[in-house]
Amino acid sequence: MDKIKTKDKIVITALNLFNQKGLSQVTLRTIAQEMGISQGNLNYHFKKREEIIETLYFQLVESIDKGIAEHEEENNLQSFFQVFQVIMDSFYTYRFFLLDFVQIMREHKKIKVHYAQLNAIRTEQFQTLFATLIANDIIRKEELPHEYEYLYKRLQILIDFWISGSAIAKERLSKKTISYYYEVIGQSLYPYLTPKGKTEYLLAMKIKKA
């Protein structure tokens, strides 16, 4: 097995500490102490903590991009929920971003600018998916102006902040928590489904109808 490079070890250690303690409680010194190396050694790879946070942010984006790309051509309800699962799992892995989201957006201009650009791309991707689901008789046609645009916005808010809500409720974050919120958020789509879509939904979510 190849030896993990010091730079990669720093990123892995930082991620674990950010997740455990929160962004405000972790400095470069904290990371160096956890690794048992000097801060000078750490500074050789990362001059500022911001550089580590940016590295982790782009790892998160890459993880989600990969999941979307794997299901981009399928355009069915199953693929929608598979992408949804990838996003939930990725956010859990990098959960400090969700817990310290506002602070990161305030303090990291590079991330804030990229996130705004990425959000525009994601909105377009999901609107295309919704249009395909309508064409395939999986979800109904819009009954209100901008109905699916607003649905995506609601889903985005729920996905971006479910971890914060869980933390405020003092729930222990775990894979079981992900499964719970996966279903909570996933049911947001149910009222928009056609009879055909509802059948696919129950299969995709592995739910037995009540």
- The CATH classification number of 56-204 equals 1.10.357.10
49-97 per-position pLDDT tens digit? 999 999 999 999 999 999 888 877 776 788 888 888 899 999 999 999 9
Q: Which contacts (CB < 8 Å, 24+ apart) does range 139-144 have?
A: 139/189, 139/192, 139/193, 139/194, 139/197, 140/192, 140/193, 140/194
CB atoms within 10 A of CB 195: 7
pLDDT of residue 208 exceeding 70: no
> What pLDDT is attached to residue 196?
94
90-149 per-position pLDDT tens digit? 999 999 999 999 999 999 999 999 999 999 998 998 898 899 999 999 999 999 999 999
Q: Domain spanning 1-47: which superfamily?
A: Homeodomain-like (1.10.10.60)
The residues spanned by each domain of the chain are: 1-47, 56-204
Higher per-residue pLDDT: 188 or 76: 188
Whether the CB-CB separation of 136 and 80 falls below 8 Å is answered with no
How would you write the chain as a 3-class SS string? CCCCCHHHHHHHHHHHHHHHHCHHHCCHHHHHHHHCCCHHHHHHHCCCHHHHHHHHHHHHHHHHHHHHHHHCCCCCHHHHHHHHHHHHHHHHHCHHHHHCHHHHHHHCHHHHHHHHHHHHHHHHHHHHHHHHHHHCCCECCCCCCCHHHHHHHHHHHHHHHHHHHHHHCCCCCCHHHHHHHHHHHHHHHHHHECHHHHHHHHHHCCCCCC
154-180 per-position pLDDT tens digit? 999 998 888 888 888 777 777 788 888
Mean pLDDT of 41-48: 95
Average pLDDT taken over every residue of the chain:
90
Main-chain dihedrals φ then ψ at residue 139, nearest 5 degrees: -120, 155
Whether the CB-CB separation of 138 and 77 falls below 8 Å is answered with yes
Mean pLDDT of 37-41: 94
> What pLDDT is attached to residue 3?
60
Rounded Cα–Cα distance for residues 113 and 116 (Å): 5
> What pLDDT is attached to residue 2?
46
Predicted structure pTM score: 0.89
Which structure tokens are listed for 193? 């489904």
The percent of residues in the chain predicted with pLDDT above 70, rounded, is 96
